[in-house]
Structure 1
Amino acid sequence: MIRSTRAGRTLAVAGVLALALTACAGGSDSADEPTDGDAGGGSGEPLVIGTILPVTGSLAQLGPPEIAGVDLAVKEINGAGGLFGADVEVKHTDSSDAKNASVATASAQELISGGVSAIIGAASSSVTLNIVDDITGAGIVQVSPANTATDLSGYNDFYFRTAPPDSVQGDVLGNLIVSDGASNVGILVFNDSYGTSLRDVVEGVVTDAGGSVVYGTSGQEFDPDETNFATIVADAIAASPDAIAILSFTDQTPAIVRELVAQGWDMSKTYFVDGNLQNFGTEGDVGFPAGTLENAQGTLPGAYPSEEFQGRLLEIDPELKDFSYGPESYDATMLVALAALKGGASDGETIQANMTAVSGADGGTECTGWEECSQLIEDGEEIAYQAASGVGPFNESNDPSSAFIGIYQFGPENTYTFSRSEEGEVPSS
């Protein structure tokens, strides 16, 4: 179910601030029932959180806002006195991307051996699929602020995400393309779990509406390492699409755009997604001549961030250029800390057992931010954390039960601005 709204809830991003911190409190075995710990007793060990987020690689543009979101949450928690009488500590590591899988593997092992109880990341679904078994197998809670692959829904009791699966973004993107009048759709999609998962949803929406995907169906994906798109673009245009969606990451997208322009494609009929939506501008390696992307559109999970929340992120990282998945990272960190507080301990098992409850899945008093929510927990109340990103409580698959998808439009300087949001319910697997 989708509804349109122009309400600016909150979405944000932040900078790469590494904190050199000591470790303690590792994870343990899984638990099925919430822990009735002494929330206000300070009986827990200090909470240590790790991050595996993209500092390098094809999603490096997402790293600064995501890291800033984590750091903002930690700053607010510690500014209010911390947790269990101590500051929450954070260890930042790099995830890179699926082409450099050894980076995330090394980061995961570093954090596991370093005694973290929760890990925020990865951004890429493919990267997560490479490391999630090691992390969750160690009894550590993993919360991704940006994974959208549908096959991660309900993957493990210790795996959560604050971004919706592609069933929501794909539905919004497919309906956006159809509502703009396209019936024959081309999809330039790379052979990655993120791309194919999103493609499958878009294709289903288009065909259900009576249209067809004329290029980019199963078997027509391109290699993630592809650098020459002349033939791929020529084949797509030869299929006579009314619109083309580019489902890839930012390292392939500039070359794809340049090839589309060179072959005469009307770029106003082009659609981007969260993996490649960025302010390309008119200069540098990713920039294009002014007007290249004018009226092209893109989708991005998350409610549009308020100016107030953007300002808080910019205090963490003044160099932020956009805020993609910053709010989701902030929410992930807050939910981990609130779950530890509710359970009275900072180990992974306790956090896992209380994540769903503090998200509001069972009801409770609505609250925002650490001070308000932590006080309610210490007073013995059940809470329903109101996410900065606008997502609903966790469902049975540890996905957000609802989420907003922002729709953005490019202007003459090849930068995008917010147009509107659509809210969708997330099905349980």
Structure 2
Amino acid sequence: MIRRSTAARGLAIAAVLSVGLAACSTTSGGGEGEGSSDPLKIGTLLPLTGNLAYLGPPEVAGVGQAVDDINAAGGVLGNDVVVENADSGDGDNLQVSTNSVSELLGKDVNAIIGAASSTVTLNVVDSVTEAGVIQVSPANTSTTLSGYDPLFARTAPPDTVQGQALGSLMLDDGHQKVAFLTMQDDYATGLRDNVQKAVEAGGGEVVYGATGDGTEFGQAETNFSNVVADALAAKPDAIAIFAFVETKAVIAELITQDWDFAGKTYLCDGNTADYSADFDPGTLEGVKGTIPGADAPEEFKQRLNDWYVAENDEELSDYAYAAESYDAAILVALAAVRGEGTDGQTIADNIRAVSGSEEGATEVSTFEEGVAALEAGDEIAYQGVSGIGPLNEDNDPSSAFIGVYEYDGDNKNIWTKVVEGSVAG
């Protein structure tokens, strides 16, 4: 179920947490562990190159800042956490992620945070889990990954939540005949399917690009003249684009064919990015997009930016999935503390519990608070900056926010409100 909210960020986060704590619970793991006591080694599999490279910096910063916070609080089981970074690439060149996972496993990582692309994760997740390593994605939303393996979890909600939010947003804006321009990719088609369900459930109609129509375009496609012409011929009153970097070429073709963007064009988390350097001012003004996650507090963003500047001598321009990356690392570390072991299986056995799945859990908002509560014999519910609820039986967030963004006159995506959704489980 989706509930709309325009409350301030702090109130919104408090609201979703109270909802999340009522979600399904189970006993997982237990405080007594027999796993490895070696230093926790976290590998990152995040996009440093490829179509999603704009997501790499905020995700890398999220993990990096989390590990710094963990180590400043004494580390995990008396040892500093070690980070090994690797490039996930994207779905156009899966060999990048295959090679990176081999490299990370060769370095004996206990957990891998990533990938950003669901297609990339589906390429490597079996290799990761079969090695006994837990994989936690901060950005995967494909419903295919719900309950995929006990050693796979995520801090981003499945596309059922974003699909409801985006479909409802289009309906709320008064649109009844919508067209979908969709890349052929598990992420894009899955999200499209869920948006279509929401649109049709609300009495709307998909006039182009519906599930099963065979209108999807290939990844890295550059010529969209026929695709756009066919979509516009169906006379939609709104268009949603489900793609990555291909979105720039789609927008350019929509401009050529005189599409009126304002209030009639919708993007998703794969392409709701800053286009200020790509199009003339005002081109995308009034366009809306959705990205899972509440808008993170400014203080948190500043910390991440400072971290990234110190490490890379450049500032962050985007914060998509930064909070989810931070929370993924904190949950991994707290799970190791609860299970008293740093091996992947121990972390997997305890990650739901530290996320708040146990009844009567003590709410904590930092790694340090979590360790103190665990050492006092309490169960904990980590209340992270991303605002997700406890992990459910599929290792998906039981509740989450979807941020709604609107483009200004400079073609920059500006956070406007959040939509709260819950996930069955």
1:245 pairs with 2:240: yes
Alpha-carbon separation, structure 1, partners of 2:305 and 2:92: 31
SS of residue paired to 2:9: coil
Give the equivalent residue in structure 2 for 1:236.
Answer: 231
1:276 pairs with 2:302: no
Unaligned runs of 5+ in 1: 12-31
Q: 1:337 aligns with which of 333, 336, 348?
A: 333
Alpha-carbon separation, structure 1, partners of 2:105 and 2:386: 28
Cα offset, 1:38, TM superposition: 6.4
Q: How does 1:7-22 map to 2 (within 5 A)?
A: 7-9=8-10
SS of residue paired to 2:258: coil
Give the equivalent residue in structure 2 for 1:2.
Answer: 2
Cα offset, 1:311, TM superposition: 1.3
Letter aligned with residue 350 of structure 1? T
Q: How does 1:15-94 map to 2 (within 5 A)?
A: 34-37=29-32, 44-94=37-87
SS of residue paired to 1:130: helix
Alpha-carbon separation, structure 2, partners of 1:124 and 1:145: 10
Q: 1:291 aligns with which of 269, 282, 292?
A: 282
Cα offset, 1:270, TM superposition: 0.6
Cα offset, 1:377, TM superposition: 0.9
Cα offset, 1:210, TM superposition: 1.4
Contact (CA 8 Å) 2:184, 2:219: kept in 1 or not?
A: yes
Give the equivalent residue in structure 2 for 1:397.
Answer: 394
Alpha-carbon separation, structure 2, partners of 1:60 and 1:306: 23
Alpha-carbon separation, structure 1, partners of 2:33 and 2:240: 51
Alpha-carbon separation, structure 1, partners of 2:153 and 2:62: 17
Contact (CA 8 Å) 1:121, 1:144: kept in 2 or not?
A: yes
Alpha-carbon separation, structure 1, partners of 2:116 and 2:160: 17
Alpha-carbon separation, structure 1, partners of 2:95 and 2:198: 36
Alpha-carbon separation, structure 2, partners of 1:316 and 1:71: 8
SS of residue paired to 2:273: coil
Give the equivalent residue in structure 2 for 1:114.
Answer: 107
Cα offset, 1:423, TM superposition: 0.6
Q: What TM-score does the superposition give when structure 1 sets the normalisation length?
A: 0.91
Give the equivalent residue in structure 1 for 2:251.
Answer: 257
Distance 1:129 1:9, change over 3 A: farther
Alpha-carbon separation, structure 1, partners of 2:28 and 2:368: 26
Alpha-carbon separation, structure 2, partners of 1:245 and 1:300: 14
Alpha-carbon separation, structure 1, partners of 2:220 and 2:257: 22
SS of residue paired to 2:286: coil
Q: How does 1:156-175 map to 2 (within 5 A)?
A: 156-175=149-168
Letter aligned with residue 72 of structure 1? Q
SS of residue paired to 1:359: helix
SS of residue paired to 2:92: helix
Q: How does 1:290-309 map to 2 (within 5 A)?
A: 290-309=281-300
Q: How does 1:312-351 map to 2 (within 5 A)?
A: 312-318=303-309, 319-351=315-347
Q: Which runs of 4+ in 1 moved over 4 A?
A: none
Alpha-carbon separation, structure 2, partners of 1:10 and 1:390: 11
1:138 pairs with 2:131: yes
SS of residue paired to 1:136: helix
Alpha-carbon separation, structure 2, partners of 1:390 and 1:420: 14
Contact (CA 8 Å) 1:132, 1:142: kept in 2 or not?
A: yes
Cα offset, 1:36, TM superposition: 3.0
CA displacement 1:159-215 (0-9 Å, x = unmatched)? 000000000001000000011011000000011000110010111111111111011
Contact (CA 8 Å) 2:36, 2:343: kept in 1 or not?
A: no
Alpha-carbon separation, structure 2, partners of 1:174 and 1:152: 21
1:202 pairs with 2:195: yes
Q: What TM-score does the superposition give when structure 2 sets the normalisation length?
A: 0.92
Letter aligned with residue 261 of structure 2? M
Unaligned runs of 5+ in 2: 13-26, 310-314
Letter aligned with residue 257 of structure 1? I
* Percent pairwise identity: 52
CA displacement 1:40-83 (0-9 Å, x = unmatched)? xx982110000100000000000000000000100001111212
Contact (CA 8 Å) 1:38, 1:343: kept in 2 or not?
A: yes
Alpha-carbon separation, structure 1, partners of 2:112 and 2:394: 18
| Residues matched between the structures, number | 401
SS of residue paired to 1:267: coil
Contact (CA 8 Å) 1:10, 1:304: kept in 2 or not?
A: no
